[in-house]
Amino acid sequence: MSTACIIVIGNEILSGRTRDENLGWLAVELNKIGVRLLEARVIPDVPDAIIKAVNACRKTYDYIFTTGGIGPTHDDITASCIAQAFGVPYVRNREAEAILRKNYGAQNLNEARLKMADMPEGATLIANPVSAAPGFIIGNVYVLAGVPRIMQAMFDQFKTTLKGGEPMLSATISVFLTEGIIAEKLTKIQSDFPDVEIGSYPFIRSGRLGTSLVSRHTAPARLEQVTASISQLIESFGGEIAAD
């Protein structure tokens, strides 16, 4: 199974001004196609931070997806930093330039917009059906826009080319029992099903404590088996089932 890492580039997330939506969306989509997301980082619009994070992560994971920082303004520095990370020239991509020229027309094209065609040498374009300016791929790094709708449209362009695997399926049972009550028996179930990833997530709803028990595996039949065991555990404590 392929592994992936997301690098969210943007001061606006770290300052708390904007809540990131891209991580959650990409996590769901990667899971659907059987690519396992193993890390996400949020870093500022600072060259050294971008270069270091990209170089650390691209050696560790099969796929790296960056979001943000590829627009026309002074704070859009992702493409030039990726070129530095790969040690290749930062050049005007002729194919990207042609797309921008066609989209904006001679009248509306300016230097700032043309900057969106500047990329690491050797980059392959990712089409942007929303607002034209493309993302790009270099090595195992996929450089995407930060605006969720554009990022999502870009991801759809290449997702069928990613080497995925069987999607990880999950079965969730939520119950108004606290973790401390069920922990010991749950540990027993986890050791009975070592191939299933069982997660226990406490919650508070309307002042009531409860736990969501999430089992993850690629085989539906295996999930049914573990779910049956968890259901028995819950019944043994007379737990009240909660909505997921």
Which residues 115-174 are close enough to bind a copy of itself by CB under 8 A?
115-116, 130-131, 146-147, 149-150, 168, 170, 172
Residue 203 token pair = 């919650």
Single out the residue of 9, 35, 37, 85 in contact with a copy of itself (rule: CB under 8 A).
37
Which of 39, 59, 33 shows the shortest CA–CA distance to 162? 33
Minimum distance, C-beta of residue 122 to a copy of itself, in the bound complex (Å): 25
Rounded distance, CA 164 to CA 157, Å? 15
Rounded distance, CA 232 to CA 240, Å? 12
Minimum distance, C-beta of residue 241 to a copy of itself, in the bound complex (Å): 18
Q: Which stretch binds a copy of itself (CB under 8 A): 78-86, 157-165, 201-209, 228-236?
A: 201-209
Compute how many other C-beta atoms are within 10 angstroms of the C-beta atom of residue 202: 11
Residue 18 near a copy of itself by CB under 8 A? yes
Residues with Cβ within 8 Å of residue 29, at least 6 apart in sequence: 155, 159
Of 12 and 158, the one with the shorter C-beta distance to a copy of itself is 12
Single out the residue of 89, 129, 165, 202 in contact with a copy of itself (rule: CB under 8 A).
202
Give CA angle at 144 (138, 146), nearest 5°.
150
Residue 16 token pair = 């708390």
Of 88 and 109, the one with the shorter C-beta distance to a copy of itself is 109
Residue 23 near a copy of itself by CB under 8 A? yes
Residue 91 near a copy of itself by CB under 8 A? no
